[in-house]
Structure 1
Amino acid sequence: MSNDISTASSTYLDSLKWQDKQVASEQKSDELTQEDFFSLLTQQLSFQDPSKPADNDQMIAQMTSFTMAEGISNLNSNFQSLAASMTSNSALQASTLVGKQALLESDKLDLNDTGDARGTAVAEGPVESLMLRIEDSSGQLVRTIDMGAQPAGAVRFAWDGKNADGERLPPGEYKIKAEGQLNGEFTSLPVATFKNIESVNINGANGIIVNTKEGAVRLTDVAEIA
């Protein structure tokens, strides 16, 4: 009994495969190839009236139109293959970003169990003193860091996660403020901090999207990957 069922199943599967091949063959046969075109053209010439031969200009126009149509079709196929290849390469590139850190414009510092919380402060011009003030989630000042005189541009900083007494603070989200002193006056400076990349995805015209705990941003908006 089991042999009969096995044989019947095999026969049924074989019939399905044959039907798939037949459908594919029929679909392919519906396409007019260059060989088919010239075969039809030859047939047309063989049955033409000798007293009224086909117009050469018309024949050339037909051949040119077919050649152009076939060329455009091939070009479209090539572009589709190129687009698929580019998407594949983008996906491969995106997958390597997970687990790394992205430098984003943000005043939020993510402190882990170990290691430093890093970022940059940007000074439009040279400053006599660059001060970093770090606050906890309640807004309480936990650490002040004097970076000294700094030139114009991005100034890197790293906070070891310790308070003013040298005690390691619990992991979590902290806030950082940067101020630059010039001519005795302090001015707020923009800051950027490193965020862990949790995942990435490809979003059409927006390209690669980087997802962090703080939100999603385009890869082109990331200042640095570390």
Structure 2
Amino acid sequence: MTTTSSVGTSSTSAVNQALQGGSASASDLQNQFLTMLVTQMNNQDPLNPMDNSQLTSQLAQISTVSGLQTMNTTLTQLLQQTAASRAMDSSNLIGKTVMVPGAGVSVSGGVAGKIGVDIPSTADSVTVQVLDASGNVVRNIDMQGQTAGVKDIAWDGTDNLGNAVPDGNYSFKVSATANGKDVSPVSLVYGQVQSISGDSSGVLVNLTNGQSANVDDVRRIS
């Protein structure tokens, strides 16, 4: 007759490996556990009955795995529903002008695009450098001291000599310090929202200039 110990050991090993490896679903583990239980009951030695404490322990583990998998499924569904809801709410931004992180600015007809900066904390010195496509500085702007918050940067499309710069694409850098320490300012650009989409990072606003930004990064709406 097959003994309880040999059957129980092999079945217990299979369940424990599945629990430790995390490769089996709660349903698979429950099926393995029931198979083990029935096998042990059919083959147990009356003089050496099965270990109830071991079965109870495994059942508790299986219940925990089942509960966690159910919770994970529920949370995933909740996150998907929340993302869909946020995407629908964000559709109201289509056609609006928003301010998002960026460092590019264009000049068309002598008029420069609007730019700004988000200063995390009060800074005693804020400076801006506007660069051309070759990386040459064409304009330095001293914003002096600024309190924390989102600020517009006033650039009229001229260079340091007051001459209008050629139409084209430019970039800008913002530096801000407090007592000589960098306060990590974030350069911002304006753009019109053309559409709303989503990816693994969340809901995105897609601008008419081809740029995309996470809706959580929108600093201003107008």
Normalised to the residue count of structure 2, the TM-score between the two structures is 0.50
Q: Mark the structure with the bigger radius of gyration.
A: 1
